[in-house]
Amino acid sequence: MASATATAARQRRIIIDPITRLEGHGKIDIILDEEGRVERAYFQVPELRGFEKFAQGRPAESMPQITSRICGVCPTAHHMASTKALDRLYQVEPPPAARKIRELVYSTFMVEDHTLHFYFLGGPDFIVGPEAPAAQRNVLGVIAKVGIETGQKVIAMRRKLRELISLAAGKTVHPVFGLPGGVAKPLTAEDAAQFRHVAAEAVEFAQFTRGVFEKVVLKDQEYMDLIRSDLFTHRTYYMGMVDGQNRLNFYDGDLRVVAPDGHEWARFDAADYAEYIAEHAEPWSYMKFCHLKALGWQGFKEGAESGVYGVAPLARLNAADGIATPQAQEAYLHFFGVLGKPAHHTLANHWARVIELLYAAERMKELADDPDIIDPEVRNLPTATPREGVGVVEAPRGTLFHHYQSDGRGLITKCNLIVATQHNAARISMAIDQAARGLVSATHVNEGLLNMVEMAFRAYDPCLGCATHSLPGSMPLLVRVCDDRGNVLTSLRRDADGGIHRD
Amino acid sequence: MKPKVAFYWCASCGGCEEAILDLAEDILNVVSAVDIVFWPVALDFKEKDVEAMADGAIEVALVNGAIRSAHQLQMAQLVRRKSRILVAFGACAQLGGIPGLANLTTTGEILHEVYGDGTRPQLEFQHDGQALNLPKLFESVYPLDRMIPVDYYVPGCPPSPRIVADALRVLLSDPLPDPGSVLAPDRALCDECPRKDSHDPELKIDRYYRVQERVLDTGTCILAQGVPCLGPATRAGCGARCISGNMPCTGCFGPSGRVRDYGGKALCSLASIISGNDAGAIDPILDGLADPVGTFYRYSLPSSFLQRKQGE
Amino acid sequence: MPEEFQPRIVAFFCNWCTYLAADLAGTSRIKYAPNAEVVRVMCSGRIDVQFVLKAFAQGADGVLIGGCHPGDCHYQEGNYKALRRYRLLQRLIRQMGIEEERLRLEWISAAEGDRVRVVINEMVEALQRLGPLHKNGQAQERLMEVA
Amino acid sequence: MPDRNPVRIGVYTCHCGTNIAATVDVKALAEFAAALPGVVVSREYKYMCSDPGQDLIRHDIRDHDLNRIVVASCSPHLHEHTFRTALKVGGLNPYYFHMVNIREQASWVHENKAQATRKAKDLVRAAVCRVALHEPLERGRVAIHPDVLVLGGGIAGIHAALTLANAGKHVYLVEKEPTIGGHMAKFDKTFPTLDCAACILTPKMSAVRSHPNITLLTYSEVTKVDGYVGNYKITVLRHPRYIDEDLCAGCLECLEACVYKQAKVPDEFNMGLGKRKPIYIPFPQAVPQVPVIDPETCIQFKSGKCKKTCIEACGERHAINLQAEATTQEIEVGTVILATGFRAFDAARAPGYGYGRYPNVYAALEVERMVNASGPTAGEVILRDGRRPQAVGIIHCVGSRDENTNRWCSRVCCMYSLKLAHLIKEHTGAEVFNFYIDIRTPGKGFEEFYQKLLTERVHFIRGRVAEVTDWVFDPSEDGKLVIRVEDTLAGFVRRIPVDMVVLATGLEPRADAPEVRRLFNISCASEGFFLERHPKLAPVNTFTDGVFLAGCCQGPKDIPDTVAQAGAAAAEALALIDAGYVETEPNTARVIEEICCGCKTCNSMCPYHAISFVGEIHKSRINEVLCKGCGTCVAACPSGAIRQNLFEDDQIYAEIEGILTHA
């Protein structure tokens, strides 16, 4: 290996690479100037699968199952967005029971997925702590911190929730219950009883989780300062789904965009998304960057003039005026009481996620208790000629659009998918660029910095599987400092569990 | 000393990883029974650790996902070299999977679909003298065994928890099954279908319904109700999950042992049982199968005889 | 001048009608193109769609299926099964980028020796217009990209 | 049970004299084969099917320890059996064999030697790939039910039935008409010997009636055929003749007693030249001697207001039952002889000859009846107005050798025209003109008969008749029919005025031949006559085992040939019956129970109900005896759980690969 001093004068570059040789995920490329200061940091997504292309010619009714294969982590989100797109495509409304079963399953999924991220992916950063030794900064470290029985509690909770999804949707990974105008089968009284039982546990569990978060984060001044620090603050627009009273909703409603100052900038039906959202392509990434159409693409800038906006938990809370369930509403008020509204602090996403976890659990319980849920009428057969439909849900990681056009036989002729990480892509790039500029230089590369960059990134729980319609999941990273011949000067790895190691 | 086990993913959606996590409490038993030396998504071991191992040092490697880029091929070859037993885990690795439907099109067509004539990602982008690279994608998606030798297959999209547990047990015990075998029953799904006794032996289809065209009775054979169900052509082992969801089998477990081209066989069978002895009577029935390729090759196009769309 | 493209045709003929027709063409010394090679099966109903796909994948430019006329099947109904499969298979290969002229089903009775000539010659002409199915050894090319 | 020994293949290329060698480079082919995987011996030989050819195989099996054999020669339909036997004699299972058809499907149909050879190589490569996967098979045995069905009561059916009955076999003779006898019963004399048709036929007819081994089912049709060689179940529909065959004594008093004192109904047997009553017997020597009532014309059936004098006349016997209805009868037989005969060409289809337009234009069969002493005119050859003809023209090849009607030669018209010429001259002394294209007399005594006619001053004019017209040019033609013909010997067009024209109508397949063919699952040749298994070597066999052909249903022929063929068909049936069993091809399908998932896809595939669903084990099963080996269920089985001997998936894949592997 070439020595650092020998090449110190040379122009350098840092590649933060999520080990593409392994997973082919996202990739960060930092260009340094002559003095070794960061000149530009690129966030690249190196893969593309073309679901939108090979969707063409497929029967519309197969889309909920085909598109769920975009991501095995959040298949239910794609399945549901797709199913809702089919309702519109075939111009048919599901019967009340079917609508409720869908939202029940969806809420169950939100509880399960947010749990996964809180304990397995994001957790290590703040429960174990950013400064803790890398070896501990993983799920095992989390369990060590919160206790083994809690660890088992988490595992058991996930299992129960996922079994419920199978019960109603056939399968958990890649469900099969969504049909235009309804769901494949009604819930029996026994099924509903199980849902009620687990829902009650889920609410408790959510409150428990909230307790954990408040104990280890809110009471930790250092951590709160980090959350508030400018390094992790971007004043952008936010988008999220809201119900009739502008309250948070994951399954259905209008989309609401609030400006950096918090005022409602737009409120629209999913079908009109193309009038509000545009996609911008860069030559150095397969991922397209969403922005607000009216404001146009101003580059990676924040502020009211830039079209850059964010989605995901923090954005959702910013975009909503409240939450429909009591316990979550109370947590919502506390959240903005502390951070002010709108909250621009990227790391607050973790807190917002816990509040959403609580809401999802409460909503799950409401629906499980609803007597209509076992009504056998769960199908309305489509009669209209299929044409075009847009379906939207709030996926765990943010707003998810499925937009289909079909011929008269319901064979897909055009398919457009916009996933959470695409909405967030610009904001993520900015976060990385900002973190890099603030922290990195040729002579100054260490775990701490790396994990800082990491955290800006991870707060979004970005799913590049969805983003590229190709690969899922969490974000292992590799940072290498090389000279311009590509000789590695320094190399640090960070894996999906949060462990960071210098090679 | 505990056997070394590795999990690795190529072009997959992560559902197979979830399938392993869905062992839930059992995962702890697995972890205690073996020595997991490589699991990028969950544990902290690196490629170079793998490179450092002696060839064949890994007892069992479970690889999910298809091959669609040179990187994935490289890694698959590395893992192959280091492993005594390599298992294609899940539909994508075994058959190509749903992303394999990309073989109906080309990378060029995909790029055009997504980016139109505007800015396009470049394999190499220059930032004053610094090249940013994006990996080249193959024109086709390939199942694992078209690229590297595969010892066993675990079917499913994703494999059901039961299949995963059984597979791990079998692979870690003696004697091993015949090389090349699929670690699931060599029988079709009907064998374990709760509705298998719900219809009489005269299976005759006068009309194929698309699934949204008909409210399915929850107790009767779905195929007998006229909705194309691929259960008869599909390997058992999933526990008829989709059927219990009152939806037809779409074939994610792939063919049984004596079938070489899943889609061809399934098509042959579903066409045989319709009524109608002339084109005029036959064609309207077939209209219920709106998308033959997407129906019969939903998971297996890259492993079919034709592999991809022909011509250019 | 470049030699004319010689398409390869795999012909699945039923034992009782079309295979006999081909024999009759022989005993009648009827001349036709040498591009079709016959796989004999007892009944067109035996022809598994897999066989046709295998033939295309293996390098056939065309596949011909020959059976008894409707109502004349030596096994009563086998040819109807063949017809049903053929109608669906045509839709499939169209999606797979294979022109429908490349797959042909013909009812040829034991008495119609000359029909064998007409059908095979027609098919050869059609395939010569279309050119090879595997353009410049596409299959090999695809393996190149990963080598 | 697959054979585990290393595969050692012998490939044998046949020259078939020059039939193959002239178009396929047999040397190159043999060398090519020698290089193929698994091939130990590759030879070419003049005639592989000859004894020395077969010895080659047998010796190589012994000397080179071969366990697979490929012969590239003619069609398997011709010699597959021959070579399998050779293997058997050589001590090898006969199914370790595959035959490559490089004659009918290569050398005879291609001209370019290079291309024909290339094709032959592909086919041989395919066979070598395939045969390597062959497995030893055993033929099954099916017991033969000793009874025989003979369909058709003409001279062919009668002779076949008697031959079998005399050999002690029980025969069901089924005839559509109320009597047996067929066309021959309508003839007066038979060529060339001019012996009286009735004299030679009626004794055989009564022999049938009285034979203890023959069950005669007249006025009956076969409506359904189930089963297979050795075990056919035949359903026979018996039309009601309204007179009970068992009770009727054949006194015919009922005919006398009929309220119709005069016969008024045109008489089918006499080609409508005579009349019959609603209750009638087709002709005096009819068998059975039991009248029939024609409900179309019987007053009782039409109005219900008849005195029913016939029933009175029958009196105590009560043989007449006007309420009788059609009945069906099921019979079981092991073999079938089809002797359904022919249909005479309808002369109206050749409009130029004026049949149906000019009263005195007759079809040959009508004249046959006229010259017959017991016919409508009691043997008088007369015009419609009762006059005797002065001049008669006989036009040959009506509905034969004719682009517009039937292309084939009906074989008998020349001879029966000569016969009629002779008889007409004998009965009327008229001038007789024969208009012919060629006179064909290929038969014992035929040419002599022709020569005899020439000496009888019968006129022969060579040329196809243009038309028959009543448009006269000069008084000599008044009231005559004028035959316009180009005399191709004299080389000019002639007009021959005659009083009577006789059309020598040809033979064609019966209208119901297609139905019969489907019932018995056999093939027809292009012109519609039933197709024999081989024109030379198996002229009375069909492609369906146990079904044989006799008489004109297989093609036009005269009485001697018909009788000879009937005897041959009877002998073929006897051979099967006395063997006691028939060996069945082993290419049946079977369900592999471990793989079968019980999806019931296959059950609806089988037209022979060979596949049953076994509820207890929830799997399907195939009855090997009922299975005909079509393989439809094999292709349909969605999980590959059904296999077919000799047509295994892997064997067919190997064949495809063999064909398409570029050498």
In the structure, what pLDDT confidence band is assigned to residue A492 with cuts at 50, 70 and 90?
Answer: very low
Q: Residues near B68 by Cβ (< 8 Å), separated by ≥ 6?
A: A49, B10, B11, B99, B102, B137, B138, B140, B141, B142
Distance from C-alpha of A289 to C-alpha of A287, rounded to nearest angstrom: 7
Q: Where are the domains of chain D?
A: 9-137, 253-317, 343-508, 589-645
Do the chains C and D touch each other, judged by at least 3 C-beta pairs below 8 angstroms? yes
Can you tell me the mean pLDDT for A79-89?
98
Please name the member of D109, D115, D123 whose beta carbon is closest to the beta carbon of C25: D109
In the structure, what pLDDT confidence band is assigned to residue A487 with cuts at 50, 70 and 90?
Answer: very low
SS3 B176: coil
Q: Which residue is associated with the tokens 């045969």?
A: D131
Describe the crossing of helices D649-660 and C49-58 by its angle, rounded to 10 degrees: 20
CB contact under 8 A, D605 and B272: yes
- Beta carbons within 10 angstroms of residue A147's beta carbon: 10
In the structure, what pLDDT confidence band is assigned to residue C90 with cuts at 50, 70 and 90?
Answer: very high
Mean pLDDT of chain B: 89
CB contact under 8 A, B307 and C142: yes
Residue type, D506: G
CB contact under 8 A, D598 and B265: no
DSSP-derived letter for residue A472 is: -
Can you tell me the mean pLDDT for C5-27?
96
DSSP-derived letter for residue B299 is: T
Quick: pLDDT tens for A213-248: 998 888 988 888 888 888 889 999 999 999 999 999
CB contact under 8 A, D77 and C20: yes
* Total residue count of chain C as it appears in this document: 147
D589-645 in CATH: which number? 3.30.70.20
Quick: pLDDT tens for D437-474: 999 999 999 999 999 999 999 999 999 999 999 998 88
Q: What is the DSSP string of B188-242?
A: BGGGG-TTTTSS-S---BS-PPPGGGSPPPSSS-TTTTTS---GGGSBS-S-SHH
C51 touches D: beta carbon within 8 Å:
yes
Please name the member of B190, B255, B269 whose beta carbon is closest to the beta carbon of D636: B269
- Supply the pLDDT for residue A445: 63
Do the chains D and A touch each other, judged by at least 3 C-beta pairs below 8 angstroms? no
CB contact under 8 A, C75 and D630: yes
Q: How far apart are the first and last CA of chain D?
A: 32
Can you tell me the mean pLDDT for C102-117?
96
Å between D213 CA and nearest CA of chain B: 43
In the structure encoding, which two tokens stand for residue D584, read together?
A: 């069945």
Rounded alpha-carbon distances, angstroms, from residue D474 to D352, D478, D492, D493, D495: 21, 7, 19, 16, 11
Please name the member of A162, A170, A173 whose beta carbon is closest to the beta carbon of B242: A170
Describe the crossing of helices C113-130 and C18-27 by its angle, rounded to 10 degrees: 100
Please name the member of B115, B134, B210 whose beta carbon is closest to the beta carbon of A44: B134
Q: Which residues of chain A have a CB within 8 Å of the CB of B75?
A: 21-22
Please name the member of A31, A72, A286 whose beta carbon is closest to the beta carbon of B134: A286
In the structure, what pLDDT confidence band is assigned to residue D662 with cuts at 50, 70 and 90?
Answer: low
- The C-alpha R_g of chain D, in whole angstroms, comes to 31
Selected for mutation to probe chain B from A13, A43, A49 (highest B CB count within 10 Å) is A49
D378 touches B: beta carbon within 8 Å:
no
What was the ipTM of the complex prediction? 0.90
- Supply the pLDDT for residue C76: 85
Please name the member of A174, A177, A283 whose beta carbon is closest to the beta carbon of B119: A283
Q: Which residues of chain C have a CB within 8 Å of the CB of B310?
A: 56, 96-98, 133-134, 138
Report the percent of chain D where pLDDT is more than 90. 89
Can you tell me the mean pLDDT for D317-328?
94
D614 touches B: beta carbon within 8 Å:
no
SS3 B285: helix
CB A51, CB A67: distance < 8 Å:
yes
In the structure encoding, which two tokens stand for residue B49, read together?
A: 């650790």
CB contact under 8 A, D635 and B186: no
CB contact under 8 A, A173 and B22: yes
CB contact under 8 A, B15 and A174: yes
Of residues D187 and B13, more confidently modeled: D187
Distance from C-alpha of A308 to C-alpha of A149, rounded to nearest angstrom: 43
Of residues B4 and A106, more confidently modeled: A106
CB contact under 8 A, D630 and C27: no
* Residue A29 reports pLDDT greater than 80: no
Element (H, E) at D657: helix D649-660
Closest Cα in chain A to B104: A54
Q: Residues near A109 by Cβ (< 8 Å), separated by ≥ 6?
A: A74, A76, A77, A161, A165
Can you tell me the mean pLDDT for D173-200?
95
Q: Residues near D654 by Cβ (< 8 Å), separated by ≥ 6?
A: D126, D129, D130, D132, D133
Residue A258 Cα to chain centre, angstroms: 19
Report the topology of domain D9-137: Rossmann fold (3.40.50)
Half-sphere exposure of D431 (CA within 13 A, CB side): 10
Can you tell me the mean pLDDT for A80-85?
98
Quick: pLDDT tens for D281-308: 999 999 999 999 999 999 999 998 999 9
CATH homologous superfamily of D343-508: FAD/NAD(P)-binding domain (3.50.50.60)
Selected for mutation to probe chain A from B44, B50, B120 (highest A CB count within 10 Å) is B44
- Supply the pLDDT for residue A448: 62
CB contact under 8 A, D630 and C26: no
Across A465-479, B45-59, D150-164, least confident range? A465-479
Please name the member of D103, D587, D659 whose beta carbon is closest to the beta carbon of C26: D103
C134 touches D: beta carbon within 8 Å:
no
C78 touches D: beta carbon within 8 Å:
yes
Q: B 126-145 residues with CB below 8 A of A?
A: 127-130, 132, 134-135, 137
Please name the member of D77, D543, D631 whose beta carbon is closest to the beta carbon of C43: D631
Sign for the pseudo-dihedral over CA of A6, A8, A13, A17:
positive
Neighbours of chain C (3+ CB pairs under 8 A): B, D
Q: How far apart are the first and last CA of chain A?
A: 12
Q: Which residues of chain B have a CB within 8 Å of the CB of C134?
A: 310
Closest Cα in chain D to B233: D638
Q: Which residues of chain C have a CB within 8 Å of the CB of B264?
A: 48-50, 52-53
- Supply the pLDDT for residue A27: 62
Across A185-189, A299-303, B32-36, D481-485, least confident range? B32-36
- On the 0-12 / 13-18 / 19+ scale of CB atoms within 10 A, B160 is buried
Interface size, chain B vs chain D, as Cβ–Cβ contacts under 8 Å? 89
* Residue D601 reports pLDDT greater than 60: yes
Can you tell me the mean pLDDT for A72-93?
95
* Residue A474 reports pLDDT greater than 60: no
In the structure, what pLDDT confidence band is assigned to residue C146 with cuts at 50, 70 and 90?
Answer: very low
Can you tell me the mean pLDDT for D363-376?
94
- Beta carbons within 10 angstroms of residue D51's beta carbon: 9
CB D528, CB C112: distance < 8 Å:
no
Q: Which residues of chain C have a CB within 8 Å of the CB of B277?
A: 70, 77, 80, 83
φ, ψ dihedrals at B75, nearest 5°: -65, -40
At residue D328's C-alpha, the angle toward residues D326 and D331, to 5°, is: 150
Å between A502 CA and nearest CA of chain B: 11
CB B102, CB B76: distance < 8 Å:
no
Å between C146 CA and nearest CA of chain D: 23
Closest Cα in chain C to B258: C50
- Supply the pLDDT for residue A450: 63
CB contact under 8 A, D630 and C51: no
Q: What is the pTM of this model?
A: 0.84
Mean pLDDT of chain D: 94
Can you tell me the mean pLDDT for D516-544?
89
Distance from C-alpha of D500 to C-alpha of D389, rounded to nearest angstrom: 6
Å between D35 CA and nearest CA of chain B: 28
* Residue D144 reports pLDDT greater than 50: yes
Can you tell me the mean pLDDT for A272-299?
90
Neighbours of chain D (3+ CB pairs under 8 A): B, C
CB contact under 8 A, D597 and B189: yes
In the structure, what pLDDT confidence band is assigned to residue D245 with cuts at 50, 70 and 90?
Answer: very high
Quick: pLDDT tens for B91-100: 999 999 999 9
In the structure, what pLDDT confidence band is assigned to residue C141 with cuts at 50, 70 and 90?
Answer: very low
In the structure, what pLDDT confidence band is assigned to residue A481 with cuts at 50, 70 and 90?
Answer: very low
Q: Which residues of chain C have a CB within 8 Å of the CB of B296?
A: 92
Å between C147 CA and nearest CA of chain D: 23
* Residue D30 reports pLDDT greater than 80: yes
- Supply the pLDDT for residue A472: 26
Quick: pLDDT tens for B166-215: 998 899 888 999 999 999 999 999 999 999 988 877 789 999 999 999 99
- Supply the pLDDT for residue B202: 78
Report the percent of chain D where pLDDT is more than 70. 99
SS3 D301: helix
Of residues A498 and A236, more confidently modeled: A236
In the structure encoding, which two tokens stand for residue D105, read together?
A: 């499907």
